[in-house]
Amino acid sequence: MSKIGDLWWVVAVVGLLVEDAWGITDARLVQGTNVNLGEALQFLREYDSEASRICHRVSSARWTYSTNMTDFNKRKMIEEQTLQAKFNKLSWKRTMTFDWTRLPDQMVRRQLKFLITNSRASLTDEKYNEIYHLISEMKDIYSHIRICPFNSQESLFCDLELEPDVVRIVGNSRNHMELAHVWREWHDKVGPPMKNKFMRYVQIANQAARMNGFLDAGEEMRYVYEEQNFEIEIAQTWASLQPLYRELFTYVRRKLLQFYGPFVVRPEGPLPAHLLGNVWAQDWSKIVDLVAPYPEFKTIDVTDEMLRQGFTPLRMFQMAEEFYTSLGLKPMPPEFWRFSMFEKPNDRKVQCTASAWDFCNQIDYRIKQCTEVNMDDLISTHHEMAHIQYYLHYSEQPYLYRDGANPGFHEGVSNAISLSVFNPVHLHRVGLFNENTDSYETNINFLMLMALKKVAFAPFAYLVDAWRYEIFQNGVQNMNAVWWELRLRYQGLIPPIPRTENHFDAAAKRHIPADIPYMKYYVALLLEFQIHSSMCFASGHVGPLHNCDIYRSREAGRVLSDLLKVGKARHWKEVIKMLTRGQSDRLSAEAMLQYFQPLMLWLKVQNRNETILVCNKQQNCV
């Protein structure tokens, strides 16, 4: 860091207590002395055009690499990213000259606040590079883990990768010995090699946060939600979801007990984490065959019908576009159709994860997806295109506002759309599903499948960052024990084999080593149902929420576009207030509970002979 950089600590002042409309105190954050509004406006104008230009270069380079993975393209991408990191650091330093909480313009304050919340920019170059390298080393370790198959005696065959191999085995195998083996292999190989690196990472991240006036890096992670009581508010939403989760858990436990027997599943205890069809036990839909309420009624799948009708990837994208235009939203721009990657090319290596891209120049928007003709990819096509709708709607906003209202909004919106699309009523309307959608059994089967994806995900989505907040606050001693305490308390899960502090099981989830926040997925889950419910109300839907399809509703489209065009220009509580027609400004589990209400009633009947409590020690775990 330069000499000028070091001065900012000297000019740090603890100013007047400044509370914005939502009661957030920013005053203890470190800041400078300049209160000249003209200079701040000038700085933000320059920032806006330069940041957009650099963002365009970085996303172009990332696109080139992701769709053509050569060493050359990777080098180019890293060069651009390095330039962007330098620019961010410089912008942070310039922002630090302003006493932004005292500038008399709300929009200026808001933008400067977003710029300042990047505490790692305050690290010395040496430490900044160190934490950057720690993270990329941990990501590297994660992506290079290979595990041995169940039957192999020789390490020669230890070449199973997380994707697709481990994910596939955990999803499809019904042999608990094999599942335990794979669980052990993955967790034992991924955690220990990065444990020390992670501990050092925690130390540096905390230093950076504290230098900027935060208590620790966890408080900084929560700060982006601009809500002092954020932790309390989301804890309340979890408390209201918990009864539904308990019922689901209890029912699934009985089914697993029936299948695996009492030596594997304890009738009244927590569940071992390896039997739920997912490496992290965060999505249980792969074991739907073991738990389907009415197995004789088929679960909805329109893949065969799509094939019969001769669908192509292009037609799937056209169909998704028509969904949005039917709401009165925007068609995809010409550049989208010209430059997107709809199919996996066979002349080069590409990253196949579906993603939606904003090239930051208000012209170029693309989707990259290795589309195959099946139902999952049809849903995914609509999901990704919702991200593009968001980009298009906030494209006129300044650079710093071109984002979701909080980190959960982008996924929340896209998943809310998916609730209308992966929906028997909708698939019937678009001519893909012609069976009777009205029977009670089909509806309960459908809701069970959704619950295995969404309700099962809630406690996991919540606890990943609950763990990180605790580690940043209380330190890394016992961090594996803390991980399992939270897994037990929220998910009701225990490890299938004993664990010690030599293990580092949180690292089994990529977002931990990769330094990617996770609470946004929990927030997105709540928002998904809040947004769905509001759009359904606007469309005049009557009846159960899971049968609501907003297709062709201009009124629902208006609710959606009003939300999208705000971007991040306003506090997300104002956006929720708008969404709920002034009724509430809170994140809430109510809409989600309403969606699953018919299943909840069904589960209660199923569980009436069961002990719902599943804890061993504290009696308050699940």
CB under 5 to 8 A by kind: which of Zn ion, ligand NAG, none does 606 bind? ligand NAG
- Answer yes or no: is 225 a known binding residue: yes
- Answer yes or no: is 490 a known binding residue: no
CB under 5 to 8 A by kind: which of ligand NAG, Zn ion, none does 228 bind? none
The amino acid that residue 62 corresponds to is R
Secondary structure class of 377 (helix, strand, coil): helix
CB of 215 to Zn ion, least distance (A): 31
CB of 356 to Zn ion, least distance (A): 7
The dihedral built from the CA positions of residue 150, 142, 162 and 270, taken in this order, carries a sign that is positive
How far apart are the C-alpha atoms of 245 and 249, rounded to whole Å?
6
Q: Which is nearer to Zn ion, 248 or 535 (CB)?
A: 535
Q: Which is nearer to Zn ion, 414 or 420 (CB)?
A: 414
CB under 5 to 8 A by kind: which of Zn ion, ligand NAG, none does 73 bind? ligand NAG
Give the H/E segment covering residue 356: strand 355-358
Q: Which is nearer to Zn ion, 101 or 414 (CB)?
A: 414
Residue 343 annotated to the active site: no
Q: Which is nearer to ligand NAG, 9 or 72 (CB)?
A: 72
**Of 134, 133, 203, 127, which is closest to residue 477 (Cα–Cα)?**
203
> Going by DSSP bridges, is the β-strand pair 355-358/365-368 parallel, antiparallel, or unpaired?
antiparallel
CB under 5 to 8 A by kind: which of Zn ion, ligand NAG, none does 298 bind? none
- Answer yes or no: is 133 a known binding residue: no
- Cβ–Cβ < 8 Å for 41, 109: no
Exactly one of 226, 384, 410, 532 is catalytic; name it: 384
How far apart are the C-alpha atoms of 280 and 93, rounded to whole Å?
40
- Cβ–Cβ < 8 Å for 521, 411: yes
Q: What residues pair up with 147 in beta bridges, in sequence order?
A: 160
Q: Which is nearer to ligand NAG, 144 or 348 (CB)?
A: 348
Encode 305-360 in three state secondary structure: HHHHCCCCHHHHHHHHHHHHHHCCCCCCCHHHHHHCECCCCCCCCCCCCCEEEECC
Residue 384 annotated to the active site: yes
Q: What residues pair up with 355 in beta bridges, in sequence order?
A: 368
CB of 73 to ligand NAG, least distance (A): 5
Q: Which spans of this chain sit near ligand NAG (rule: CB under 6 A)? A: 68, 70, 72-73, 149, 151, 347-348, 606, 609
CB under 5 to 8 A by kind: which of ligand NAG, Zn ion, none does 609 bind? ligand NAG
Query: Among all residues, whose Cβ is closest to Zn ion?
Result: 414
How far apart are the C-alpha atoms of 457 and 484, rounded to whole Å?
17
> CB count, 10 Å around CB of 544?
14
> CB count, 10 Å around CB of 297?
18
CB of 142 to Zn ion, least distance (A): 21
Q: Which is nearer to ligand NAG, 68 or 362 (CB)?
A: 68
CB of 594 to ligand NAG, least distance (A): 25
Q: What residues pair up with 366 in beta bridges, in sequence order?
A: 357
Secondary structure class of 398 (helix, strand, coil): coil
How far apart are the C-alpha atoms of 263 and 107, rounded to whole Å?
61
Q: Which spans of this chain sit near Zn ion (rule: CB under 5 A)? A: 414
Stated length of the chain: 622
Write out the two tokens for 383.
């999901």
CB under 5 to 8 A by kind: which of ligand NAG, Zn ion, none does 414 bind? Zn ion
- Answer yes or no: is 571 a known binding residue: no
Exactly one of 511, 555, 590, 610 is catalytic; name it: 511
CB of 242 to ligand NAG, least distance (A): 22
- Cβ–Cβ < 8 Å for 359, 56: yes
Give the residue numbers of the binding site for chloride: 225
Give the residue numbers of the binding site: 225, 383, 387, 411
Which residues are catalytically annotated?
A: 384, 511
Give the residue numbers of the binding site for Zn(2+): 383, 387, 411
